Structure formats: C-alpha cells, structure tokens
Chain A
Amino acid sequence: MNELSASSRITYRAVMVRPGMARRIRGLSDKTLAWLFITPTIVLLLAINIFPLLWTIYLSFTNYRANRANVPTIWLGADWYQSILTDPDIWAAMQVTAHFVIWTVVIETVLGFGLAYLIDKKFRGHGMWTTIILLPMMLSPAVVGNFWTFLYQPQIGLFNYVVAFFTGRAASSFQMLGDVTLSPWAIVIVDAWMWTPYVMLICLAGLRSIPDYIYEAAEVDRASKWRQFWSITLPMALPFIMLAVLFRGIENFKMFDMVNLLTGGGPGSTTEVASITLKRAAFESWRTGYSSAFAIILFVTVFGLANIYVKALNKVKSR
C-alpha cells in the first residue's frame, strides 16, 4: 500500500468503502453478516430438502393417498413400517438391489482402476483414449437403456452376435433381458459399461496425486514394479478408490431409470430393484403413506451404510 501513489490510494478507497454502504455494514457484526450470506441457501435447503423429508416422515405414519385427497387422513403409527419389513416381496427387491449394487461396484472398481492405471502411463494417444473411454458416462441413462435394449435383442442385437461369434451358439438362442438367469447380469453389464469411466476418472486423480519422488526413492531402493504397486500406488490411491466405491454404491442403490427402461423389473420380478418397487407403490398404486415409509427405510439404509463407510474412509485417510 505504501508503494501506491496518492491518486491510486484515493481510487482504492473509493472502490473499497463506499460511504453509504460502509455506514450500513459498520452496524453489523461479522456473525450477522455471515448469517445474511447463508440465509438464502438455508431457506432454499429447508424448502426443497428438509421440509419434504419431514413431510414424508409424517406421511409414512398415515393412510394418505395423493390421488384421494378427499379421504380423511388416519394416523396408523408404525403399521406401514411393520408391513414393509415383513413383506417377502420387499426383501426380494432388496436382494435384487444388493446383487446389482455389489456386482456393479466390484466390476466398475476393478475395471476403473485398471483403466486409470493404464491411462496414467501416458502412452502415445492416451488423451484420445481417455476421451473415448469417458464417452459412455456422458450419455443419458434413458438413451443408454434404450439402445442397450436393441443391442440385447436376440435377433438383431449386436451383443448376441458378438457372444455367438465367440461361443458358437446361435445368436437367437438366448435372451439377455427375458431370461431369469441372464437378466440380472444384463443390467450389471450395462451399468458397468456406463459408469466404469467415472470410477476411472476418480482413480486417475488419485494416481496423479502421488508424487514422483516417492517412486524415485523406491527405484533407488531397488524396489520392483510389483512392490511399488503394492506399497506405494495402491495405498496412496486407496482413499480415492473408496470414494468412487461410495459414490457408485449410493447411486446404484437408488438406480431406477436404466433398469426401468431395460427390463421394467422383469422378467417377473427378477430385476425389480427397490426403487422400481417404490415407484410402483408411489405413482402407480398411489399408496403415498406406504411408499413414504418405504422411502424412509431406504433412506435410513443408505444413510447408515454410507456413514459407516465414511468412517472407514477417514481411518484409511488418516493412516
């Protein structure tokens, strides 16, 4: 400031502290100012997040149906919770969801990390390959669902032809979406195809954050590549991998659009993940109270599991 000329000093003051504003602000404490800045955000959050959540909790204890507003609302206590938690169909849907979440997360993590490891080697054309690999995650799930329906079509679908080419089976001899055994894997394949690049991106950030000097020190110590991978790369990238697992786990627990387009929950209820059951209860049957209770159960499940996981993640980070 001392180096500024007199004229610059005048301009600086004029910009920084306008007299009217200064008077107004001077009367406010830092705390008040802070509240002033965050109040709009808090109001918005309350309106679009907290209030609906509280309202849903309230509805979950009633017989309310959104399509029958003229029917008196009755307090049912925990009836819906009891009926949901003892319903075999709900448990079946939870099993389908667990199968989907576990397998997609495992496949995406292994493939995503593998791809990130390769891309990190900065071979010739790695930029172009990165862009190509990232393409699927840029597509809308609705688009992906629709075109994979065609790819899986037994008579004209490319997927069946590729499998037929390698296995020698007739292309139309199996149907990925209509077969009870294959359809749960069909949705896993599509999700892995779409979201492996996302995991790759997070893992790549992790790999790129490892300083080169650590590897250089390892080289000096004559550590093999294998040893470097297990002792440096994997431990240092682990927090990022765990973060990717958390994101994909949460996302896939509430997966709806892609599965709905691919199979609609079928054949039978083979691929009916929890969110499809919830949507049917909420917006087809209009059992608003029941579906609110189910939504709360799902929310608590995801929230609880995510919290446990975050604690584990923090432990890994603090190592």
Chain B
Amino acid sequence: MKRTMKTLVVACGAVAAAFGVGAGTTPAQAQGKTITLCWAAWDPANALVELSKDFTAKSGIGMKFEFVPWTNYADRFLNELNSHGSLCDLIIGDSQWIGGAAENGQYVKLNDFFKKEGISMDDYMPATVVGYSEWPKNSPNYWALPAMGDAVGWTYRKDWFARPDVQKDFKAKYGRDIGVPKTLDELKDIAQFFQGRDIDGKKVYGASIYTERGSEGITMGVSNYLYDYGFKYDDPKKPYAMDGFVNSAGAVKGLEAYKELYKCCTPPGASNSYMSEGLDAFKSGQVALQMNFFAFFPGLYKDPNVGGDKIGFFVNPAGPAGQATQLGGQGISVVSYSKNQPEALQYIKWFSGGDVQKKWWALGGYSCAKSVLNDPSFPDSAPFAKEFLQSMGMVVDFWAEPSYAQLLQAEQKRVHDYVVADKGTAQEALDGLVKDWKAIFKEEGKKF
C-alpha cells in the first residue's frame, strides 16, 4: 500500500512536471519574469525541466513548459507560430521547420547575439549546426542553438542473443554467429529468425520499425534504408534536380528492402507504428529489434524489464551504397513574437555553457557541444554514447525547405501506399514522389 502511494505520488509529480505545473516555481518566479519553453512531451523534456531549475536559481527568471505529445507537436506549434502567437518565448522546434520559420520571420536570427556573447558554432558538432541552426543550409545564418542531438538507431535484446538455443539455431540456419548486424541484410536475417519464435513460452517477433502514416513516421523509418541504398534528395551539383537521385535504381531497391522487412518481420498490427508504438513493442518483450531515436535510449536502458544487461544498442547498419542514418533532434530558438526576448536570449546563453551542456547529457539530454562529445570519457559515459557519436557522424536530414510539410506529406503518402497498402511498385512510388516534389517546388518558384 505504502509502495502504491509512493508510486502514485511520483506519478502525479511526473505528470505535473510534464505539464509544467509548478515546474520552476520559486520565489524568484513570483517576483521576477517567467518565460515559456515549448517542446515535445517525451523523456528529454523531463530532463530539461530538471536542468532549467539551475537557470531559475541563477537568473531569478521562472520557467514554464508547454510540452505536447509528438503526434500533435508539429500541428500545435506550427499553428502557434503561423498565428503569430506569443505562447512560446523559446521553442525547441523540429529540424525541418528551420527554413519556414526563418523565411516567415518566426524565429529571431541569432548571429548578432552569438557574436556579442561569444557563442561560436565551431563549438558544436557540424552536423547539428547544419541540421538545427542554419538556413539556408551551409550558410552562416543561425536561427537556433543546437540543443538536442538525435538520430535514428536500433536496440536489440542482448539477453535473447546470448541464449545458447538461439545461438545454436541461428548458426545452424545462417552459418554464422548471431551478433550486432553490420549490414541491412544481416538485420533482416536476425529479424526473420526471431519472427514467430518461442521465447520462454511467448511468441515473439522480429523488429519494430516506423510505419506511421499521419505525421512523419514512415518517412523517418524508410529513409534509413533509402540512404544506405543510394537515395539522394537531389543532384549535389544541381539543387532540386531529383530525377535519377530520388528514384535511382538503388533507391528503388532500398524501398523494396524496407517493404520486405515490414512484411516478413514485424508484429501483427504494426501498420501505423512510430516512436511510442516501437517503445511499447520492445518494452513488452514482443520484438528482438527496435528502430527508434536515440533520445529514448536512456529511458530504455533504465527499464526494469528490458533494460540493463538485457538491452544492446547499434547504429543503422550499412547498405550496398554506404551507411547513413536519419537525423532527428532539434535546436532551441527564440520566437520573434515573444514579449520576453531578452530573458529568452539569456536562457540560450546559459544553456550554451560548458557545465550546463555536461549536466544536460548527464540528465538524459543529448548535448551537441563538442566539449561534451569530444571528451575522451564520452564514449564510455553511457552504453549508447559510442553509437550516438558514430550516428551523428553519418546523419542525413529530410528537406528543411519552407515547404517541408508538403514534401513530407507527399513522401508519407507514396511510401505508405507502397509499403503498407501494397499499391503499385517501388519504382512507381518513387517516380510519383519525384513528380509530387517537382510540383511543390514549381509552386514555390524554384528552378530546376
């Protein structure tokens, strides 16, 4: 009973923290200003609430948090920005929003502020600067401070891999030892091996992968295959020229391979899975492999049922054309409609501090600062730290154009139609995607 009460109190506290109730409510807040930070409702957000208490203690500025579940995150905050709302003083916005937010004047440009405060983008991992801060890409125009590094990675059931019966059967079937897959083909073999297998009297399945239709799920998943098979968004020498890059022979094979993995090796009913469905499948012991963002890995490692010695982590395996992974993560920006811009900038300055970045990583956030990531002790600081570092060195992001949402919707539809709904061929899906993307860019006035 006592334990139940304790759990209840902790749960209520967590819920209150997640909704910003009472978070950062200090005497200073009552006297001074309060700023609101908007982000997604997930594990790292709770770490940020904890971290931000130091900011309030130091500056006397209170912090309020507006966290929205991932499924509504883009809808909610893009609505807020587009309606010139002043709910958020600071926003940790998705990497793809940067083009639109910069061009539509929704984020404050931070170049002068960075210069004045001595904040250098050279102190951050290059991929995160390009992905989270710059618009136009690869130009020194900064609209955010890299805040939360993230990429797609994989988890596996280390304890299942270590079982003698599994090892014996796998070797007998594939002629090699079971281990962390180095290639996407190996990954499929492992997933296929576990699909429908009996583990301790329970039927388990191969892999949980992203297949969600409504927001961005299947695009974030399939990209990990497409990149490895040679897909490129456009001609590196001729921007927006997509023919033969988006729908190259390699890309078609990559899309086919993703569909094969979905058909052969996912649990029943996994036709609309994204982050939380993946976590559920893994935590409930349904799957041997799980595709998900690194942001969830600290929580998974702590999980009493599947964490600790039972879980292992690995980077997205290589394909025939190389090895890359989908970028996740976000930068922190000041909203141009905020009435508390000086305080919001003060928060960014504080957040960029070396000690704060170290604590951010220690609490479960993913720092993008070189001072943290290049520290010799970093790879051993967590069981997934080495893989995170490796992944951040090979990330590729989706379009970050102002029209990114339209581009994303087109890919969601084309890919879901092919992979889940069995409509047409992979070639037709990617040819259709090129057609859709061309129409969108044409409407945008792009020349290609």
Contacts and interface: CB of A to CB of B under 8 A. Distances in A.
User: Among A152, A173, A284, which residue has the most Cβ atoms of chain B within 10 A?
Assistant: A284
Contacts of B328: none
B94 to A, nearest CB: 13
Interface in B403-434: 403, 405-406, 409, 413, 416-418, 420-423
Contacts of B312: none
Contacts of A169: none
B60 interface: no
Given A263-B213, A266-B271, A270-B421, 17 more contacts: A66-B82, A66-B83, A67-B104, A68-B103, A68-B104, A172-B268, A175-B269, A260-B214, A264-B212, A267-B271, A268-B413, A268-B418, A268-B423, A283-B79, A284-B409, A285-B403, A285-B409
A287 interface: yes
B78 to A, nearest CB: 7
A280 B74 CA distance: 12
10 shortest interchain CB distances as A-B pairs: A268-B421, A178-B271, A264-B214, A266-B213, A268-B417, A154-B268, A154-B269, A67-B82, A172-B268, A267-B420
Given A260-B214, A268-B416, A269-B421, A175 B271 contact: yes
Interface of A: 66-70, 152-155, 157, 172-173, 175, 177-180, 260, 263-270, 280, 283-287
10 contacts: A177-B271, A178-B271, A178-B272, A264-B212, A264-B272, A266-B213, A266-B420, A268-B413, A269-B413, A285-B409
Interface in B46-85: 74-75, 78-79, 81-83
Given A264-B213, A266-B213, A266-B271, A285 B423 contact: no
Contacts of A284: 74-75, 405-406, 409
A149 B421 CA distance: 18
B416 A286 contact: no
B402 interface: yes
A68 B268 CA distance: 42
A285 B75 CA distance: 10
A260 B212 CA distance: 12
A287 B403 CA distance: 10
Contact of B421 (A180, A260, A264): A180
Interface string B268-289: 1111100000000000001000
Contacts of A283: 75, 79
Contact of B416 (A173, A175, A179, A267): A267
Contacts of A177: 269, 271-272
A287 B214 contact: no
Decide if the interface of chain A is mainly helix, strand, loop or mixed. loop
Contacts of A263: 213, 272
A70 B104 contact: yes
A267 B213 contact: yes
A154 B105 CA distance: 47
Contacts of A264: 212-214, 272
B317 interface: no
A285 B405 contact: yes
Nearest to B408: A284
B254 interface: no
B365 interface: no
A69 B268 CA distance: 45
B259 to A, nearest CB: 12
Contacts of A179: 271
Contacts of A152: 269
A285 B416 contact: no
Contacts of A69: 104
B218 to A, nearest CB: 9
Nearest to A178: B271
Given A67-B104, A268-B413, A286-B82, A178 B405 contact: no
Nearest to A156: B269
Contacts of B103: 68
Contacts of B214: 260, 264-266
Contacts of B268: 154-155, 172-173, 175
A266 B421 contact: yes
B269 A153 contact: yes
Contacts of B406: 284-285, 287
Contacts of A265: 213-214
Nearest to A153: B269
Contact of B100 (A67, A260, A266): A67
A253 to B, nearest CB: 21
